[in-house]
């Protein structure tokens, strides 16, 4: 018995696998079940090393060596998936070489991610990997695997675009169905456990909570699902065809929405977009959605799979819209970096914008009638090139070559040294808790600084056990709070409470925050109402400092959602005395929970309607 794929007569990925010989199907099933069982056992053993062993320490080897445990965990999670997807699709030698390369790369990524973490991952602390590594590693593996499979099947370095499309989209559907099958399996187990619990039998409920059962059964179920979906090739292709058809028509909706958004920008301006604080992520997400939907309409580029004329127009328009979207993303990111410097999130966003730029240039060129190729055909080369660039970018970002934490720390330190940020506004929390070993080393340098203010704050950060013990950086010079009515002035020092609260980053551009001075409780002292796009906040002065005493949600009483700033500008805010005083109970003052507040608010807002006159 040989595993399918060991001979040169193995059908290509596009062939119907339901016609495979019984012996080959059995061999593939045995191989995949063995992979699933082995993965489950390895993951369980790794999990066991992190548990309390009852011998005076929390973990045993290899969990006590984070630089070893992290790579082992990442390899155990992802390498079996590569093997499951490669059995029957790659020649044995190709699969062995590719699996070896994937294992080495995953191991190096896991090792780097652990060793760059801050010191303190000792034998009493569980080793860990940063969360972003998991999705990015999965994306890199998926893309790389489906660059290799078609090339191996066609026996050339670069396969045809039709082969890339067929392999990748089929694998995507297969992965989704396999995950869904595994989730459904566990839902049925929980349902069965609930049924047995009703009659007093708890063995199944207790069993599924045991890691020695749950982990291997999950991996085995996923492996079985992969095999079942693989040998039912016609089913997968049918599901894929339906999914592509439905998604391709959603391209019309997305194209209209993005076109409308771009058309409205000249009239609304960009302030609203920048005010979100996540403009780059939002715009890049829209660009990513367009890229996926364009490909669902274009498919493999064969004439028989060409979309209707209306979708062809939508594809061209969407391809051209990618460029302004990516430009907006880069613009917003550049403004943010110019204001606050580099952070790991901004570096990752910049990398995504670069990949998006590759798509925008390639798709824009494909949409123009300046080339002699067929309809949108340059899109094919763009997809392959962007796929390679995506894998390379992920490997660079999660390796020492372009470690986002290292680059961010270097940039933030340079900003401090050249005076672009003051010692008071510098983010010491980032160095202490968010940038790993390189941040701790930079913080040690600051603690030895000749600048007393810098050294004091750095030493306080070094002594902190939690990020919440460190005062957030002051951004006083960047806060813009407009006074209402125009021409009036806010009380001196009012910006102080804004600096020390979570809303300090909200008031960073003109028009985002509006404040009004008024006496809210009739005590002759001035309070301040601060309106941002979401709510009203009341501040009062106590012991020489301005403190927040409460908030107001304008939609709480069932009214329409309003912009608090517009309500303030229209003069629609005025204090109304409370009809009930607070109640002191055993020396403790308790506010009365007034259930009729909303009815009272409506009565104040709407004058009573006169009763109709009696009929004569």
Tens digit of each residue's pLDDT (9 = 90 or more) over 242-289: 999 999 999 999 999 999 999 999 998 887 788 777 889 999 999 999
Q: Identify the pLDDT of residue 392.
A: 98
Q: Identify the pLDDT of residue 479.
A: 66
Sheet containing 536-542: give its strands across. Answer: 482-484, 514-518, 527-531, 536-542, 545-552
Between residues 556 and 87, which one has the greater pLDDT?
87
Q: Identify the pLDDT of residue 1.
A: 38
Q: Identify the pLDDT of residue 230.
A: 87
Query: What pairing do the DSSP bridges indicate for beta strands 514-518 and 482-484?
Result: parallel
Which residues share a beta bridge with 545? 542
DSSP letters spanning 477-502: GG---EEESTT--PPTTTHHHHHTST
Mean pLDDT, residues 168-182: 95
Q: How confident is the model at residue 71 (pLDDT cuts 50, 70, 90)?
A: very high
- Give Cα separations from 336 to 266, 284, 344, 398 (angstroms): 21, 15, 13, 23
Q: What is the chain's length?
A: 616
Q: How confident is the model at residue 51 (pLDDT cuts 50, 70, 90)?
A: confident
Mean pLDDT, residues 485-509: 67
For the chain, give the percent of residues with pLDDT over 90.
58
Residues 41 and 65: beta-carbon distance below 8 Å: no
**Range scoring the smallest mean pLDDT among 162-166, 219-223, 561-565, 598-602:** 598-602
Q: Identify the pLDDT of residue 348.
A: 96
User: pTM of this prediction?
Assistant: 0.78
Q: How confident is the model at residue 122 (pLDDT cuts 50, 70, 90)?
A: very low
How many whole angstroms separate alpha carbon 72 and alpha carbon 391? 21
Residues 523 and 481: beta-carbon distance below 8 Å: no
Mean pLDDT, residues 378-385: 96
C-alpha dihedral, 355 to 358 to 361 to 362, nearest 10°: -130
Does residue 520 carry a pLDDT above 90? no
Does residue 424 carry a pLDDT above 70? yes
Query: Quick one: which of 212, 94, 81, 226 has its CA closest to 150?
Result: 94
Mean of per-residue pLDDT scores for the chain: 86
**Range scoring the smallest mean pLDDT among 306-310, 466-470, 501-505:** 501-505
Report the Cα 517 to chain-centroid distance in Å: 40
Mean pLDDT, residues 382-404: 96
Residues 164 and 158: beta-carbon distance below 8 Å: no
Mean pLDDT, residues 114-121: 73
Does residue 506 carry a pLDDT above 70? no
Q: How confident is the model at residue 6 (pLDDT cuts 50, 70, 90)?
A: very low
Does residue 9 carry a pLDDT above 50? no
**With 0-12 CB in 10 A as exposed, 13-18 as middle and 19+ as buried, what is 251?**
buried
Does residue 99 carry a pLDDT above 90? yes
Which string of b and e fits 205-233 if b means at least 16 CB within 10 Å? eeeeeeeeebbbbbbbbbbbbbbbbbbbb
Mean pLDDT, residues 122-140: 80
Q: How confident is the model at residue 611 (pLDDT cuts 50, 70, 90)?
A: very low
């Amino acid at each position: 018995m040989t595993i399918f794929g060991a001979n040169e007569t193995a059908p290509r990925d596009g062939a119907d696998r339901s016609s495979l010989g019984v012996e080959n199907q059995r061999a593939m099933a045995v191989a995949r079940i063995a992979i699933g069982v082995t993965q489950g056992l390895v993951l369980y053993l790794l999990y066991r090393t992190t548990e309390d062993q009852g011998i005076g320490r929390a973990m045993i080897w290899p969990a006590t060596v984070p630089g070893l445990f992290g790579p082992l965990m990442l390899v155990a999670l992802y390498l079996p998936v590569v093997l499951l997807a490669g059995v029957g699709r790659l020649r044995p030698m190709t699969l062995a070489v590719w699996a070896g390369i994937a294992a080495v790369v995953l191991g190096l990524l896991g090792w780097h991610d652990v060793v760059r973490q801050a010191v303190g991952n000792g034998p009493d602390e569980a080793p860990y990997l940063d969360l972003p590594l998991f999705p990015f590693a999965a994306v890199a593996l998926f893309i790389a695997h489906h660059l290799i499979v078609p090339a191996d099947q066609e026996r050339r370095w670069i396969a045809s675009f039709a082969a890339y499309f067929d392999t990748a989209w089929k694998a995507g559907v297969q992965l989704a169905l396999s995950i869904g099958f595994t989730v459904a399996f566990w839902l049925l187990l929980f349902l069965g456990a609930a049924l047995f619990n009703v009659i007093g039998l708890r063995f199944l409920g207790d069993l599924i909570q045991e890691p020695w059962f749950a982990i291997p059964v999950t991996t085995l179920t996923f492996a079985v699902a992969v095999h079942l979906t693989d040998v039912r090739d016609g089913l997968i292709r049918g599901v894929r065809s339906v999914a592509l058809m439905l998604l391709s028509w959603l391209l019309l909706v997305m194209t209209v929405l993005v076109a409308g958004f771009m058309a409205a920008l000249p009239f609304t301006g960009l302030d609203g977009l920048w005010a979100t604080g996540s403009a780059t992520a939002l715009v890049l997400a829209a660009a990513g959605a367009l890229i996926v939907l364009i490909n669902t309409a274009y498919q493999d580029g064969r004439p028989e799979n060409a979309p209707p004329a209306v979708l062809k127009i939508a594809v061209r328009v969407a391809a051209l819209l990618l460029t302004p979207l990516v430009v907006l993303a880069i613009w917003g990111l550049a403004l943010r970096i110019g204001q606050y410097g580099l952070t790991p999130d901004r570096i990752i966003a910049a990398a995504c914008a670069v990949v998006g730029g590759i798509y925008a240039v390639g798709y824009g060129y494909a949409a123009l009638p300046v080339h002699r190729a067929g309809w949108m055909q340059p899109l094919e080369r763009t997809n392959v090139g962007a796929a390679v660039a995506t894998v390379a970018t992920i490997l660079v970002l999660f390796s020492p070559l372009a470690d986002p934490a290292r680059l961010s720390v270097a940039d933030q330190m340079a900003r401090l040294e050249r005076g672009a940020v003051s010692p008071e506004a510098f983010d010491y929390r980032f160095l202490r808790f968010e940038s790993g070993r390189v941040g701790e080393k930079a913080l040690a340098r600051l603690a030895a600084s000749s600048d007393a203010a810098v050294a004091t704050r750095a030493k306080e950060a070094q002594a902190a056990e939690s990020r919440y013990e460190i005062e957030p950086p002051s951004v006083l010079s960047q806060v813009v709070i407009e006074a209402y009515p125009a021409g009036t002035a806010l009380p001196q020092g009012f910006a102080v409470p804004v600096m020390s609260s979570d809303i300090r980053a909200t008031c960073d551009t003109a028009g985002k925050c509006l404040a009004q001075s008024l006496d809210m409780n009739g005590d002759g002292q001035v309070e301040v109402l601060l309106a941002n796009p979401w709510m009203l906040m009341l501040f009062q002065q106590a012991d020489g400092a301005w403190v927040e005493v409460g908030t107001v949600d304008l939609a709480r009483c069932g009214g329409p959602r309003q912009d608090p700033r517009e309500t303030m500008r229209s003069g629609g805010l005025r204090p109304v005395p409370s009809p009930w005083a607070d109640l002191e109970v055993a020396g403790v003052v308790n506010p009365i929970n007034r259930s009729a507040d909303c009815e009272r608010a409506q009565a104040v807002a709407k004058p009573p309607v006169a009763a109709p006159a009696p009929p004569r």
